[in-house]
Amino acid sequence: MGYNALLKRMGEVNDLLCAESMLSWDARTMMPPGGADTRAMQLATLKVFARNHLVADESRRLLDAAEAETANLAADSVERTMCAHVREAIDYHLRIPAELVHRRAEVGSKGQHVWAKARAENDYAAFAPVLEETLALNREMAECIGYEEHPYDALMYRFEPGETIASLQPLFAALREGLLPLVKAIGEKEAPRVDFLQRPFPVEKQLAFALNMARKVGYDTDRGRLDLTVHPFEISFTRNDVRITTRVNDDWMPKSLFGTLHEAGHGMYEQYCDPAYTRTPLATDLVGLYAVGGVSFGAHESQSRLFENQVGRSREFWELNYGELHDAFPEQLAGIDAETFWRAINRVAPGFIRVESDELTYDFHIMLRVDIEAALIDGSLGVADLPEAWNAKVKEYLGLDVPSNRLGVLQDVHWSSGQVGTFCNYTIGNVMAGQLFAEAKKDIGVRDGLASADYRPLREWMTEHVHRHGRRYTREQLLERATGRGLEPGPYVEHLTAKYTAIYGL
């Protein structure tokens, strides 16, 4: 009785979070600008209601009863895993005073305005006090959450449970060792031509083609839809309604196509979660308070990166699908063959802006942010010295001199919204995608599918090993079950080395 009653109550928490997500989707796709102020209040209210419903005395009473009722089951049974998630989340939220959460949200909403203006005016000094305040609040937050070695570990916990600044160091070192020589070698080679990607591609046709490709790799539009936004995202209201957005540039065609494949990868993680987990703690992030099923932000990113990069930017994919693209854009792509197109979408061009970076240099943008955030949080780097430290890292990793803070330290929205500790998941996702794709390709059915533009076997492999489990296993357990190994950068580095060696003749 206790267990079922607990699930019923956690279903209500999921409902509240889905309602909040719906208002958020609307705010980012449909809402007129005038709605912004009251919508921010509506979102905050629903988030607080969800949190309070989760930690309420009644929930704790039901949890005690559910734990007693399931005590004789195996420790790794579904029932006890559900209970453990609820216990962990309640403990987490009760360690953080509501007043602190409120203060951080306030600094976040104020900070975004200050940041937008500071960025536009290239005025770091105007943003520095907000950053100082954000760091102080996050340090306070870290002390409440608790950690063993480094306060940054506490902040990462919400996004990438189990990951620490110490555990990231060998991973980052291996990536630097494997990838920096590639970046340097490519810098001395001639870049592939990309001019034809900048020809005018009509928006409607771009969207139609991108959605067609998303469907082809397995995104289910009976339980999803694609809309236009400034910042692409994926959002779900249970597995039965999983929406994605993209942005379209009429002078840079790859943006909409790869943005859509990326978000479709996120979407499939939600769409193919075990239906039995719907509205339960195995398909709800009760710590982060999001109605999502993925086990960590990095695991989620593994699915988006896999379909965007490992599949979508592969030579094999375009050997098979280029004809369809050419049919959709015969004038723009006149005289361009599949090989030329494939080279163009894989051009390496070290740049200043993370969200515009190519597959090879992306991780350097992440590594520099993680190192810098950790140093800011433990106080070994002061806010006044941040631009200098940032620019030095960009020079070291990408060989570039940052010309302005606008193209440097002021580019990301994250800090202005009060968030610290969210960056590592992008690189973890890349590394995991490399491991999972290499493992999936050992399956003859998956390989045959990839060789004949039938992506169903690959999607089913991912569903079997990743999607369906929701939050049933930890990220490391999931990887070990799927590949026999924990997180390791080998297959990812091999993938990049092979691809760029072929393109650039290294």
Q: Which residues participate in catalysis according to the annotation?
A: 263
Per CB under 5 A, which region of 13-21, 304-312, 339-347, 454-462 contacts Zn ion?
A: 304-312
Provide the minimum distance between the beta carbon of 429 and Zn ion in the complex, in angstroms, as a whole number.
7
Residue 272 CA to residue 294 CA, distance in Å, equals: 11
Residue 413 CA to residue 152 CA, distance in Å, equals: 19
Provide the minimum distance between the beta carbon of 501 and Zn ion in the complex, in angstroms, as a whole number.
27
Per CB under 5 A, which region of 212-220, 248-256, 297-305, 498-506 contacts Zn ion?
A: 297-305
Strand partners, 290: 285
Q: What residue number has its CB nearest to Zn ion?
A: 304
Per CB under 5 A, which region of 211-219, 296-304, 363-371, 375-383 contacts Zn ion?
A: 296-304
Residue burial 347-360, b: 16+ Cβ < 10 Å; e: rest? bbebebebeebbbb
Kindly state whether residue 304 participates in binding Zn ion, applying the rule CB under 5 A: yes
Count of H helices and E strands in the chain?
20, 3
What is the token pair recorded at 170?
């060998």
Closer of 246 and 304 to Zn ion (Cβ): 304
Closer of 329 and 423 to Zn ion (Cβ): 423
- Rounded to whole angstroms, what are the CA distances from 193 to 196, 339, 341, 398? 8, 11, 9, 21
Provide the minimum distance between the beta carbon of 262 and Zn ion in the complex, in angstroms, as a whole number.
6
Provide the minimum distance between the beta carbon of 219 and Zn ion in the complex, in angstroms, as a whole number.
14
Closest CA to 168 of 491, 431, 438: 431
Count of positions on this chain that bind Zn ion (CB under 5 A) = 1
Closer of 280 and 304 to Zn ion (Cβ): 304
Per CB under 5 A, which region of 45-53, 134-142, 153-161, 299-307 contacts Zn ion?
A: 299-307
Provide the minimum distance between the beta carbon of 263 and Zn ion in the complex, in angstroms, as a whole number.
7
Residue with tokens 């390496």: 348
Per CB under 5 A, which region of 11-19, 77-85, 121-129, 302-310 contacts Zn ion?
A: 302-310
Closer of 59 and 304 to Zn ion (Cβ): 304
SS3 290: strand
Interacting positions 183-212 with Zn ion (CB under 5 A): none
Closer of 269 and 390 to Zn ion (Cβ): 269
Provide the minimum distance between the beta carbon of 463 and Zn ion in the complex, in angstroms, as a whole number.
19
Interacting positions 228-247 with Zn ion (CB under 5 A): none
Per CB under 5 A, which region of 53-61, 117-125, 180-188, 300-308 contacts Zn ion?
A: 300-308
Report residue 152: phi and psi, to 5°. Answer: -65, -30
Q: Which residues contact residue 61 at a Cβ distance below 8 angstroms, ignoring those fewer than 6 apart? A: none
Strand partners, 236: 242
Secondary structure letter of residue 243 according to DSSP: E
Kindly state whether residue 310 participates in binding Zn ion, applying the rule CB under 5 A: no
What is the token pair recorded at 289?
């308070």
Closer of 7 and 487 to Zn ion (Cβ): 487
Provide the minimum distance between the beta carbon of 276 and Zn ion in the complex, in angstroms, as a whole number.
26
Residue 168 CA to residue 173 CA, distance in Å, equals: 9
Q: What crossing angle do the helices spanning 165-187 and 424-440 adopt, rounded to 10°?
A: 80
Per CB under 5 A, which region of 71-79, 272-280, 303-311, 345-353 contacts Zn ion?
A: 303-311
Provide the minimum distance between the beta carbon of 28 and Zn ion in the complex, in angstroms, as a whole number.
15
Which amino acid, residue 27? A
Kindly state whether residue 302 participates in binding Zn ion, applying the rule CB under 5 A: no
SS3 246: strand
Residue 436 CA to residue 466 CA, distance in Å, equals: 9
Contact, 107 vs 134, CB < 8 A?
A: yes
Closest CA to 462 of 285, 276, 234, 304: 304
Q: What is the DSSP string of 281-303?
A: GGGSBTTTTB----SSHHHHHHH
Computed on alpha carbons and rounded to an integer, the radius of gyration of the chain in Å comes to 23
Closer of 298 and 350 to Zn ion (Cβ): 298
Closer of 67 and 263 to Zn ion (Cβ): 263
Provide the minimum distance between the beta carbon of 299 and Zn ion in the complex, in angstroms, as a whole number.
11
Closest CA to 426 of 338, 291, 308, 298: 298
Closer of 317 and 426 to Zn ion (Cβ): 426
Contact, 3 vs 79, CB < 8 A?
A: yes
Residues that bind Zn ion (CB under 5 A): 304
